[in-house]
Amino acid sequence: MKLFNELIPLIIAIILLPIIGCNNKADDKIILPAAAVRIIHGVPGADSVSLLQSGNKIAVNKAYASLGDYTALAANTNFYSVAINNANSNLFTTIINFQPSVKYSLMVSDSFTTAKIKYTLLEENLPNIPENKAGIKIIPLATNSNPIDMRWRDSINVASARSLNDFVSSPSLYDYAQIDSGTGKISIRITGVIPSADSTIKRLQGGKLYTIIIKNGAVSNSPKMTIFQDN
């Protein structure tokens, strides 16, 4: 009897082995999403901006001057189209190559007319930031504003003469700038104009990354900003 009791665990293991093996084989067939995309909505007046493939909506952003949620998708090269306000007609169709293990932001911007809508596909690289620094990325989406400057604690120049889509021709402008972490005032102003168009007191945590979107104000040359934490 003692020998039988000692053999019970071995018998159970032998019985379960085929079942465990089947489960592992099933898991091996699961294809995990290899890329991710989000939409940066930069079209004032549009209720939504959507990315479609073969007429199927892949990602959507329903708030102007915001970062949409990431949507996972398999890495591939295919035709994709962009639509606004859930319209049946697409603004444009283009080939996009989504690479494995990469996060993308699809920035759709400019005025609410088909002729002027632009898009930019950006790879999101999240760098490691020292604990005494914070990373700042600026996305100027204001369509009714002259170029803007940004200041940290009034004296530190974070950006100069930034305007809509300027990083399309200069991708390095999309990189994170490192500034001292802590609490202080972030302000934006029209280049060459001293009074701030918008400002806020913000605590920037060490080692964290932030995206600041510049959007249209109520009237021309009165841009506003919204701050998002990226990590």
CATH number of 162's domain? 2.60.40
Give the model's confidence band at 173: pLDDT under 50 very low, under 70 low, under 90 confident, else very high: confident
Same domain as 142, residue 65: no
Is the pLDDT score of 10 beyond 50? no
Please name which of 139, 126, 141, 146 lies closest in space to residue 207, comparing C-alpha atoms.
126
Question: In whole angstroms, how far apart are CA 1 and each of 12, 14, 105?
Answer: 17, 20, 67
The last residue of one of the domains, among 59, 91, 123, is 123
| Predicted structure pTM score | 0.78
More confident residue, 3 or 134: 134
pLDDT one-digit tens code per residue, 12-43 = 444 333 433 343 333 333 344 688 999 999 88
Residue 7 lies in a domain: no
Q: Which amino acid is at 192?
A: G
167 in Cβ contact with 192 (< 8 Å)? no
The last residue of one of the domains, among 96, 123, 150, is 123
Task: Give the Cα separation of 18 and 24 in Å (integer).
Answer: 10
Same domain as 119, residue 143: no
Q: Give the three-state DSSP class for 102.
A: strand
State both tokens at 109. 């911007």
Task: Give the Cα separation of 10 and 7 in Å (integer).
Answer: 5
Residue-number span of the structural domain to which 169 is assigned: 133-229
The total number of structural domains in the chain stands at: 2
State both tokens at 92. 């444009």
Residue 14 lies in a domain: no
Q: What residues have CB less than 8 Å from 229, skipping those under 6 apart?
A: 208, 209, 210
